[in-house]
Structure 1
Amino acid sequence: MMKRVNIKVTALAAFIGLALTGCGGDDGAPGADGANGTDGKDGKPGLTVATSATDLAVNVDKVLVASDSEVTFTVTNEKDLPVVGLEHFGFILSGLEQGQNGDANSWKLLSSESCPGSKYAKCGTLTDNQDGTYTYKFLKDVTTETAFSVTDDKTLRLIVTTGGDTLGGKTLAYANKSHDFRNNGEAPLYTKSVINNQNCTGCHDDFTIHGGHYKEVETCISCHTDNKVSSASKVFPMLAHDKHIGVISAPVGGCDNCHSENEQAVDYTNWKTVPTQETCITCHTDVNFKEGVNHWPYEDNAQCANCHTPEVVETVHLATYKGQTSRRENVHLTVTDAKMVAVPQAQKNIDSGLDTAKTGYVQLTVDILDKDGKSMNKQLDKVDFFYYSEFYINWGGQDMGMERGKILRVFTNKENFPGYVEDPIVLSYENGKTTYEIGPFELEDEFEGSLTDSYGMVTPRIWFCMDKKGENLESCKETSSVWGQGAAGFNWLHFFDDKGLIPERPRRQIVTNEKCGSCHGMTTRDSDGMAQMTLNCRSCHAVTKNDPAYFGTTCASGSVDNDGDGILDEMIKLKSLSPRGERDWTTASNAGEECLACHNANNPPTQVVRDSHTKQGDADYVEQLTMSHPDQKVWIHAMHANNRANQGGEGWKRNVEYSADLANCVKCHEGDSFDAKYLVGRKPLALDLDYMDTYDGLDPANGKDTSGNKRYAVDAKADAYVSPTAAVCLSCHGKRAAEEGEDRRQVRKDVVSHMKQNGAQFGVELGQYTGEESCAVCHDLNNLKESHNLK
């Protein structure tokens, strides 16, 4: 294209040229050189700005709170490059009023604004300074807020929210920035940092509410204030208590489960140092302080701390489990040795005639230590301060070899059912060490062959009696209340082989006590702490209602028709899986894995587990049984996913609402222990498909009658098998929501079909099982991490 010429400019240039050349004559010698000019200033370099962002970071540069409040802040991406062109921001400004007469410090909302404006919040004036900094002028004159007056001494908080804009073709994730300050520019003189996200992420993953816009607890606290929300129950402390009490999986009353120390929660002890009526009644709902119901009448909080001192508050609330922990220290029933021997040495075992070339016997040595770790020099079976002392033992390595293993019950509160609870056989006693011989253990496995060179595990479960003060051991025969005056002992998990205890654990670490305790609560924050499994064993291993022989045991199965109406009576007393306030000594755990002794692939689900919620003839019977299997790697997934056969119905007692993302495997798993390769070649899960067909409840008037087909939960016989990888994956992915007319969640047929197409087998007989799953070919570690959003 031809360049266009400006005619007027060209003519003017020619005219000036003629005028200059028309001046004749010589002007003489050249003049002197002029002085050197000064150096020019360096030019401003070009600004490099972000063209994409994974995360946004906000830094508050300056805040002025007045009738025309203004904030200047900088936004950068994860590479610390300035981000320009953003239009979506939220601004929450609050002030902290110091409590008087026993009141807690309380936040007051001064203004909540956002850009672009909406029906929920209006927008003031937002200026993009095109260098990564932004300036926002609040629309509201915050000095008109009657609930709070701004002074240079008071603490203020600004929350800036970002996210929702598009940069580099991607929508930016939401982020919140909290900034506490004084209006004179200096650091705050006081604060109220009771909890933060670090306290919450023990149970939750990402803490997000209101569509994901708000991701910090400080944001919630700043807005849920008494001058903003419609009722006192929605002020943040009360709201948080109401949403968690009786719902969380940690002990009720265990305030330190949430109110725990970290570098940001500097006021974490407020729960015991600043008792107030407002927060107390969120748990103690039967108290009315104003009217004097279940408490002396008080108009305000001025006198609360006089009686409810930090020591008293802590003792009353945390004694539910910390008191038990201190009592536990009085006795340590310690496994000092354990080994598998090929032939028995105890005369009673020799005479039994049960020994074969394919059996072995475990010799277990224990010592009773006092609180100082010194031996009491007492033979275990001859002391009188144990209510029960039991040792759960199994052999066979990763999958274990026996259904429920063997249980050595030195003292027990259970019936002596033949073949299940046997009299202990003492092999020897010397210098405080009692050695028992337990067996026989089968050393041949249908799937693995010889188990002779494998390893075993043992974990104790004990309860001992003490005086009312919890200071001295006491004979259980003299104790008026065994449960009220006793303590559960520690229950470490030990591994052993044919040479003795194994110093290094032979199986990979899948979960840890600390990971379980992050949600269920810990007695301490170190590796020696006890995880408080308040959803205790009795919730599933339910007590019986109408058969005295089985009361207080886990051995009953099925039901009886006592009233003759042709319908089996409810025999199992259901308990809710929701946490309870009482001390859960049966489930305070040190190991997190000790359940493996019984909860393994060999152990078919029985009617105790099924609870009649699935039965032969159901279209999804085998799959429902699979998801209700007691194998540790299945039941623990299915229970948290609310997928067991006795879960998932509207209003059912056993429903569980898991507080984190079920796809977040590392929430519970250590490292990459969820890799599907670890399931390749593992033992299939055993089922007993005709279990209820062989139960007829003969002679219900005689609970101890074992004739006919009356069934114990321990005598299920495997007649079908399920592939292990499919069972584990199904435990989380196997259910869809119940549709209209269905009483519970149903199995996803598409998932089962996909598994079968890739080698999985469900409910096949022993001779038909091939073990040819190919899941790990596609679902390798990288695929699992990608599909579960773990990278």
Structure 2
Amino acid sequence: MMKIFDMKVATLATLIGLLLSGCSGDDGENGKDGDPGIPGKPGIPVATDAKALTVAVDTISVGAQSDITFTVTNEKDLPVVGLQNFGFILSGLEQGVEGDANQWKLLSSEACPASKYSKCGALVDNQDGSYTYRFEKDITSESAFTITDDKTLRLVLRTGGEAVGATEVSYANTHVDFSGQGEAAHYTKNVVNNQNCSSCHDDFAIHGGKYTEVETCAACHTDNKVSDMSKVFPMLAHEAHIGVISAPVGGCDNCHFENEQATDYANWKMVPTAETCVTCHSDVDFKEGVNHWPYADNSQCASCHTPEVIEKLHLATYQGQNERRANLHLTVTDAKMVSAPQADENKGTPGSYVQLTVDILDKDGNSRNEQLDKVNYLYYAEFYINWGGQDMGMGLGENVAAGRGKILRVHTNKGPYPGYSDKPIVLNYENGKTTYEIGPFEMEDEFEGDISDNYGIVTPRIWFCMDASGENIMDCDGQTDWSNGAAGYNWLEFFDNKGLLPERPRREVVTNELCGDCHGTTTSEDGFVQMTLNCRNCHSKAGDSEFHGTTCVSGNVDSEEQILLKNLMPRGERDWTTASNAAEECMACHNANVPPTQVIRDAHTKQGDKDYVEQLTMSHPDQKVWIHSMHANNRANQGGEGWRRNVEYSADLANCAKCHKGDSYDAKYLVGRKPLALDLDYMDTYTDPTNPINGRYAVDAKADAYVSPTAAVCLSCHGKRAAEAGEDRRQVRNEVIAHMKQNGAQFGVPLNEYSGEESCAVCHNLNNLKESHNLK
């Protein structure tokens, strides 16, 4: 027999009210008395407006007749009367049997006012901020769930979507889980919650913004509500993310991580079921026994697929990578810029040189006492070096390639491309420390003059070979499977003409944790966090084509020399990713001095196009431009219907704080920065008959025009509109270009015409940016 119960008011006030009432937002001032014309009980001041609503559930009784009472207040704790727009969901949590997971069952979903999608029961406004609602449905008629004293029930109450005074109040959901005895739930299922989702997404809102909590989705997308099993919440969530998320697919802990509310975050490995597994392993048919022996139910899944096995299969490459990385460290013990070379091989070439001293440390931090260029266990060991302070990169003008800095390739898996790779020249070896001299570096900058007193950066990229067990370092002899090896941790060091700098000299714009919220992170035993970023999604790899070794090729070339773009998709295994130090070390190459590559200029936008300069600007490799453009689908190789390079950015592009640390997006930081270099007239170098192969390399670029830095950064997000009928890609917003030019921005002007007189920061100061981007 179905039990009908009443929740005690006192219990609810202390328990549920505390759990679920939102922040009051008390501003320290007494609320104003209600306007005499506003409905309400005599003597009770009520709200005349509201920015947000807070809901406290007072009583619940469920059964053949289900009733709730609740109180609604505004941010000043004043009762809100006259509301008419509500949603009500009741669900029950059914215990899983035969290996099944515990599952929510929808008992009733109702809303007022009624519509073709939902019925409205009896709603009463008590004119004091409290409301009562009687469900239209007899929930005891739901055959999928039987209410008992110990089972968990969930009430979801939706508010918002209507005006209070002159303000339209946003939708919000409040949920409360309770037991059949009318007390706190003994157990509830929360595999993920909004905190998990908000690591990538901003405010979570679906179905027209009406539903704002993952708990609501789980309560409504149940197998007794939807006819298609793929729409049941666990399967729905998986299918919506597989192949789309920017972190490696195999990393279940990208979403399933522990927090205060996600008490069942480990269900992905604790409760394996065919229904959830097949959403990723789509080539398996458990019923028919395709790629897995047939099964009758889920009762035997956990026998083989233990938590340890599941974690190993999904995360072993990731966890093993961290373990293997710990076996070897390349550490820079000194770095400095010198005004003249000291190595005999360099003395014939004047200029400034970087002297870089490197030690090889074992897993205990002790020197291995080995000369770096003489060991055989490194598949590659490269150091990316640049100089120039906050605007890294020299060599504007004829030698733009120098803007990429220098790459010291001690061991390399790349070919010796002229002007791009450098032969390692050993200046000294002593007590395990190898000192290399690399250069020359040009100290004269077109815009800053002599930059000898500036500072530089150095960052490594290494891979070393190990045996299959991942325990012993082995020589890369061509027979050892180098894929058993490990990529070393990336780090970034700053140095000047005296040596390494003890503190970073430039502001921190992003952090590993902020980027890693979406892209995933790896963490060393000593707590060093790195973002998991697969650089090979953009850059070509060995064997692809003659484009291998150039910058940001973004694809392969077929026999007819047509560019075949690769998807911007994550790889499934984390050990095939590059652990990047929040992409900050990319500044060694990604800076204002490096024009868009030959591939961009040849394949995606051409001389004579009406938006040629704007397309190049938004496709610029400068760090502060390409990251914005990539996420906004504004690069020339993005933004077309079905294009493979498009990015499904999961948050609001206007939310600068999603990626930026503090107020680092303040436009004042762009004032006085270098303009971005462009190579507009590229055809001569591309068709150079004396150099038909290297003529295709990105390093052939020579700057002949410039773009204002603030305009370029703002254009990277604001530069394009959606395609309309008959247009195959997103279109440049000419009104934005005109606005920027009116305020001093210059696009594609020669060096002698560049003035650098942008006035953007005058109006678009920090407060304006926060207001226009809806940042608090």
Q: Is contact 1:361–1:438 with CA below 8 Å preserved after alignment?
A: yes
Shift of residue 120, structure 1, vs aligned partner: 0.8
Q: Name the residue aligned to 1:363.
A: 355
Shift of residue 327, structure 1, vs aligned partner: 1.2
Q: Name the residue aligned to 1:399.
A: 391
Shift of residue 478, structure 1, vs aligned partner: 4.4
The residue correspondences of 1:401-420 to structure 2 (distance < 5 A) are 401-402=393-394, 403-420=403-420
* Alignment TM-score, normalising by the size of structure 2: 0.91
Q: Name the residue aligned to 2:504.
A: 505
Which one-letter code corresponds to 1:330 in the other structure? N
Shift of residue 318, structure 1, vs aligned partner: 1.2
Secondary structure class of the residue paired with 1:188: coil
Q: Is contact 2:704–2:751 with CA below 8 Å preserved after alignment?
A: yes
Which one-letter code corresponds to 1:734 in the other structure? G
Secondary structure class of the residue paired with 2:324: helix
Q: Name the residue aligned to 1:645.
A: 636
Larger Rg: 1
* 1:230-267 Cα deviation digits (max 9, x unpaired): 21000000000000011010110100010000000011
The residue correspondences of 1:478-489 to structure 2 (distance < 5 A) are 478-482=478-482, 484-489=483-488
Q: Name the residue aligned to 2:490.
A: 491
Matched positions, count: 727
- Among 637, 650, 664, which residue is 2:655 paired with? 664
Which one-letter code corresponds to 2:570 in the other structure? P
Unaligned runs of 5+ in 2: 1-40, 395-402
Q: Is contact 1:544–1:573 with CA below 8 Å preserved after alignment?
A: no
Q: Name the residue aligned to 2:134.
A: 137
Change (3 A) 1:555 1:78: closer
Q: Is contact 2:250–2:573 with CA below 8 Å preserved after alignment?
A: no
* Alignment TM-score, normalising by the size of structure 1: 0.89
Q: Name the residue aligned to 2:3.
A: none
Q: Name the residue aligned to 2:161.
A: 164
Which one-letter code corresponds to 2:357 in the other structure? T
Q: Name the residue aligned to 1:554.
A: 550
Q: Name the residue aligned to 1:65.
A: 62
* Match status 1:79 vs 2:82: no
Change (3 A) 1:609 1:386: farther
Change (3 A) 1:586 1:159: closer
* Match status 1:607 vs 2:605: no
Q: Is contact 2:467–2:480 with CA below 8 Å preserved after alignment?
A: no
Shift of residue 770, structure 1, vs aligned partner: 0.4
Q: Is contact 2:539–2:552 with CA below 8 Å preserved after alignment?
A: no
Q: Is contact 1:543–1:554 with CA below 8 Å preserved after alignment?
A: no
Q: Name the residue aligned to 1:634.
A: 625
* 1:360-384 Cα deviation digits (max 9, x unpaired): 2111111111111111111100110
Q: Is contact 2:151–2:179 with CA below 8 Å preserved after alignment?
A: yes
The residue correspondences of 1:727-742 to structure 2 (distance < 5 A) are 727-742=712-727
Separation in structure 2 between the aligned mates of residue 755 and residue 667 of structure 1, nearest angstrom? 25
Q: Name the residue aligned to 1:688.
A: 679
Q: Is contact 2:94–2:151 with CA below 8 Å preserved after alignment?
A: yes
- Among 377, 399, 408, which residue is 1:385 paired with? 377
Shift of residue 172, structure 1, vs aligned partner: 1.2
Shift of residue 578, structure 1, vs aligned partner: 1.9
Separation in structure 2 between the aligned mates of residue 739 and residue 144 of structure 1, nearest angstrom? 50
- Among 554, 571, 574, which residue is 1:583 paired with? 574
Q: Name the residue aligned to 1:179.
A: 176
Shift of residue 653, structure 1, vs aligned partner: 1.0
Separation in structure 2 between the aligned mates of residue 88 and residue 558 of structure 1, nearest angstrom? 50
Q: Is contact 1:393–1:456 with CA below 8 Å preserved after alignment?
A: yes
Change (3 A) 1:561 1:362: closer
Shift of residue 642, structure 1, vs aligned partner: 0.3
Q: Name the residue aligned to 1:305.
A: 302
Unaligned runs of 5+ in 1: 1-43, 564-568, 700-705
Change (3 A) 1:574 1:698: farther
Q: Name the residue aligned to 2:239.
A: 242
Separation in structure 2 between the aligned mates of residue 247 and residue 559 of structure 1, nearest angstrom? 19
Which one-letter code corresponds to 2:458 in the other structure? V
* Match status 1:207 vs 2:207: no
* Match status 1:537 vs 2:522: no
Separation in structure 2 between the aligned mates of residue 668 and residue 618 of structure 1, nearest angstrom? 33
Shift of residue 404, structure 1, vs aligned partner: 0.5
* Match status 1:229 vs 2:221: no
Q: Name the residue aligned to 1:714.
A: 699
The residue correspondences of 1:179-198 to structure 2 (distance < 5 A) are 179-198=176-195
Change (3 A) 1:574 1:762: same
Percent identity of paired positions between Structure 1 and Structure 2: 73
Which one-letter code corresponds to 1:723 in the other structure? S
Which one-letter code corresponds to 1:391 in the other structure? F
* 1:481-539 Cα deviation digits (max 9, x unpaired): 32x21111011011111111112111111001100000011224996122111xx3233
Shift of residue 780, structure 1, vs aligned partner: 0.9
> Which is further off, 159-168 or 202-211?
159-168
Q: Name the residue aligned to 2:752.
A: 767
Separation in structure 1 between the aligned mates of residue 359 and residue 49 of structure 2, nearest angstrom? 64
Change (3 A) 1:556 1:157: closer
Q: Is contact 1:492–1:591 with CA below 8 Å preserved after alignment?
A: no
* Match status 1:53 vs 2:50: yes
Shift of residue 83, structure 1, vs aligned partner: 1.6
Which one-letter code corresponds to 1:93 in the other structure? L
- Among 776, 780, 787, which residue is 2:761 paired with? 776
Q: Is contact 1:64–1:183 with CA below 8 Å preserved after alignment?
A: no
Shift of residue 710, structure 1, vs aligned partner: 2.4
Separation in structure 1 between the aligned mates of residue 72 and residue 556 of structure 2, nearest angstrom? 70
Secondary structure class of the residue paired with 1:185: coil
Shift of residue 320, structure 1, vs aligned partner: 3.6
Change (3 A) 1:527 1:211: farther
Secondary structure class of the residue paired with 2:574: coil
Secondary structure class of the residue paired with 1:95: strand
Shift of residue 321, structure 1, vs aligned partner: 2.1
Shift of residue 562, structure 1, vs aligned partner: 10
Shift of residue 467, structure 1, vs aligned partner: 0.5
Separation in structure 1 between the aligned mates of residue 225 and residue 65 of structure 2, nearest angstrom? 21
Q: Is contact 1:101–1:302 with CA below 8 Å preserved after alignment?
A: yes
Shift of residue 752, structure 1, vs aligned partner: 0.8
Shift of residue 551, structure 1, vs aligned partner: 6.4
Secondary structure class of the residue paired with 1:126: strand
Q: Is contact 1:160–1:178 with CA below 8 Å preserved after alignment?
A: yes
Q: Is contact 1:238–1:279 with CA below 8 Å preserved after alignment?
A: yes
Separation in structure 1 between the aligned mates of residue 252 and residue 639 of structure 2, nearest angstrom? 29
Which one-letter code corresponds to 1:156 in the other structure? L
Q: Name the residue aligned to 1:756.
A: 741
Which one-letter code corresponds to 2:429 in the other structure? Y
Separation in structure 2 between the aligned mates of residue 480 and residue 504 of structure 1, nearest angstrom? 40
Q: Is contact 1:194–1:268 with CA below 8 Å preserved after alignment?
A: yes
Separation in structure 1 between the aligned mates of residue 100 and residue 187 of structure 2, nearest angstrom? 15
Q: Name the residue aligned to 2:7.
A: none
CA RMSD of aligned residues (A): 2.1
Separation in structure 1 between the aligned mates of residue 529 and residue 306 of structure 2, nearest angstrom? 26
Q: Is contact 1:542–1:575 with CA below 8 Å preserved after alignment?
A: no
Shift of residue 97, structure 1, vs aligned partner: 0.2
Which one-letter code corresponds to 1:504 in the other structure? E
Q: Name the residue aligned to 1:3.
A: none
Secondary structure class of the residue paired with 2:521: coil
Which one-letter code corresponds to 2:175 in the other structure? S
Which one-letter code corresponds to 2:390 in the other structure? Q
Q: Is contact 2:540–2:547 with CA below 8 Å preserved after alignment?
A: no
Separation in structure 2 between the aligned mates of residue 334 and residue 279 of structure 1, nearest angstrom? 44
Shift of residue 604, structure 1, vs aligned partner: 0.8
